[in-house]
Structure 1
Amino acid sequence: MTSLPPDGFLVKPDPDGIDTTEHIVGLDQLGEVQTQCVIEEHPLTIFLNNREIVTLMTIRDYPEMLSVGYLVNQQMLKDCDIITDIEYDAEIDVCVVRTHQTTAYEHRLKRKVLTSGCGMGTLFGDIMDTLSVPDQINAQTLAASAIIRALKTIKDTPSLYQKAGSIHACVVCHADQPLIYMEDVGRHNALDKIAGYIHLHKPDIPAPYLYTTGRLTSEMVIKSLSMNIPVVISRSGATHWAIKLAKQYGQTLITRARGKRFQVLSCPERLIFDLPAQGSAS
């Protein structure tokens, strides 16, 4: 497994990062002046070579990873495509990903499907044609107690959500250790940042699983399957189509994960239920 820093994270939020939050003044229910911290939201236009692909609303951390991860998860950038440069211009909010040779992506632009990712997620119709069961999808077990410990570590880690709210998180974990922790205004953007980090740095993470604060839609399931992730956990719920896809491809979906409780909606055989019953001694 990839060597870890002392706190166990490969990437984690930087609540004090530049251009991620702003202070505004408002009035409370008594009409008294109050100051609060809010998330800064900016457009990011992604280019692949000389072709404009999409404009996303995002925060300004890890734009390069978001751009690469978006292209990877849309299958517009393959492992065989050699990235020669990633140019990010903060003044005009543009990121250009350049490859050694032109990629075969033009036809995908004709089959774009708008999805439910807070109004900004997109998938291309032919992704479903190439989706297959990930290599390690059937080779993993995960203890419920490890999930609970990982979620507590995530909750206790300083984040933009703790500072300002109005933001989603996605975290790749191994056993009880969170490893890659990304935040953004949309959960799909946070997941794309993780995909970008993995594509660029190729960390060795055995038996990974994913936690997200947002709901599990078909888009989130498809992206996580494409990323070879067998278990996906949400603090929120899941759509019916997401559950059907997870069952079809052998992925474990866990929802309503809060405190020491969660609900398993598909493939429970992957879990080791080692938590004491409610009311039992720990």
Structure 2
Amino acid sequence: MAVTGPYVLQPDPHDPRLSTSVSGIDQNGNTVETRVVTEKPLTLYLNAQEVVTMMTIGDHPDLLAVGYLKNQNMLADDDVITEIDYDDDLEVVVVRTERETDFEEKLKKKVRTSGCAQGTVFGDVMEGFESISLSSDARLKTSWLHGLTKVINTTPSLYLEAGAIHGCVLCQEDRPLVYMEDVGRHNAVDKIAGWMVLNNIPATDKIFYTTGRLTSEMVIKTVMMGIPILVSRSGFTAWGVELARQAGLTLIGRARGKRFVALAGQERIDFDLDPAQMEDEPERNRRKGSVTSL
């Protein structure tokens, strides 16, 4: 993937593997061509054990696999990954580790989440969640937030090309680093988690941005990754807010232009911009945001 602008990795909306052209008709009965995102299964194995089959657009299967395992507590911090094999024809990715693994009992305790494309978490994930301590030194300046939302919302993406997709961005201060998209926001999160694991990227000074709702799943995954600040242009769920407060996560929603609402971790926010001197988001982008939150 070519790197342009401030990103280390970003969406490639012109990748022919990720979307296709489909014919149909519009409200006037006229024939139209429109782009639609691809969706295909990816079966994940950890060593010899089948873990899950995910529906995904198909890019970065290695990052998705490692991030999923990390966020499900199936990879420990000291685990050594020896190999990642991906077979496009079989639609299978295998992550191999030095340590032998056996999660037969764990795999029986699945909980379906509110995430699109049937997200799942496992019953003992909350045990790890409750033991994590997020950095109290992390800061979020309102000038960073304003700059990030402006850059992210104008980045070429599959959403702008075809819609029906969620995006997540890993940021540091006012710089977006990695932008991932997928049909389920949990997949986009896991791709970023996998990138962080494979590149030994620290989490304590990072900001996580998502186009989707701030649900319990989004809060849990962000905390499990050790990231202290979670931002969305969409809204909240009550359990998401409760878990964020429990974990000490800074939770900011409805971040559009100069507007935002913080419902947890407000002490990390530095108000270094006067809202009266800031531009608001154009009306067309506010309407677009209501679509991305589905």
Structure 1 residue 11 displacement after superposition: 1.1
SS at match of 2:36: strand
Structure 1 counterpart of 2:264, which letter? S
- Give me the whole-angstrom Cα distance separating, in 1, the residues matched to 2:229 and 2:35: 34
- Are residues 136 and 114 of structure 1, via their aligned partners in 2, closer, same or farther at CA, if it must alter by over 3 Å? closer
Structure 1 residue 7 displacement after superposition: 2.7
Question: What is the alpha-carbon root mean square deviation over aligned residues?
Answer: 1.7
Check whether the contact 1:252–1:266 (CA below 8 A) recurs between aligned residues: yes
- Give me the whole-angstrom Cα distance separating, in 2, the residues matched to 1:47 and 1:146: 39
Check whether the contact 1:77–1:103 (CA below 8 A) recurs between aligned residues: no
Check whether the contact 1:174–1:206 (CA below 8 A) recurs between aligned residues: no
Check whether the contact 2:204–2:227 (CA below 8 A) recurs between aligned residues: no
Note the 1:67-146 alignment, pairs <5 A: 67-132=65-130, 134-146=132-144
Structure 1 residue 6 displacement after superposition: 7.1
Identity %: 49
Structure 2 counterpart of 1:13, which letter? P
- Give me the whole-angstrom Cα distance separating, in 2, the residues matched to 1:55 and 1:214: 22
Structure 2 counterpart of 1:151, which letter? T
Structure 1 residue 162 displacement after superposition: 1.1
- Are residues 277 and 65 of structure 1, via their aligned partners in 2, closer, same or farther at CA, if it must alter by over 3 Å? closer
Check whether the contact 2:86–2:92 (CA below 8 A) recurs between aligned residues: yes
- Give me the whole-angstrom Cα distance separating, in 2, the residues matched to 1:99 and 1:281: 50
Selected match of 1:171 from 169, 172, 183: 169
Q: Which runs of 4+ in 1 moved over 3 A?
A: 132-136
Deviates more, 1:203-212 or 1:94-103: 203-212
- Are residues 204 and 124 of structure 1, via their aligned partners in 2, closer, same or farther at CA, if it must alter by over 3 Å? closer
What's the TM-score once normalised by structure 1's chain length? 0.93
SS at match of 1:236: coil
- Give me the whole-angstrom Cα distance separating, in 2, the residues matched to 1:22 and 1:120: 23
Ranges in structure 2 where 5+ consecutive residues have no aligned partner? 280-294
What's the TM-score once normalised by structure 2's chain length? 0.89
Check whether the contact 1:144–1:274 (CA below 8 A) recurs between aligned residues: yes
What is the aligned length? 277
Structure 1 residue 104 displacement after superposition: 4.3
In the alignment, what sits opposite 1:247? 245
In the alignment, what sits opposite 1:10? 8
- Give me the whole-angstrom Cα distance separating, in 2, the residues matched to 1:177 and 1:146: 8
- Give me the whole-angstrom Cα distance separating, in 1, the residues matched to 2:204 and 2:99: 32
- Give me the whole-angstrom Cα distance separating, in 2, the residues matched to 1:156 and 1:168: 15
Ranges in structure 1 where 5+ consecutive residues have no aligned partner? none
Check whether the contact 2:117–2:183 (CA below 8 A) recurs between aligned residues: no
In the alignment, what sits opposite 2:265? 267
In the alignment, what sits opposite 2:27? 29
Structure 2 counterpart of 1:55, which letter? T
Structure 1 residue 213 displacement after superposition: 0.3
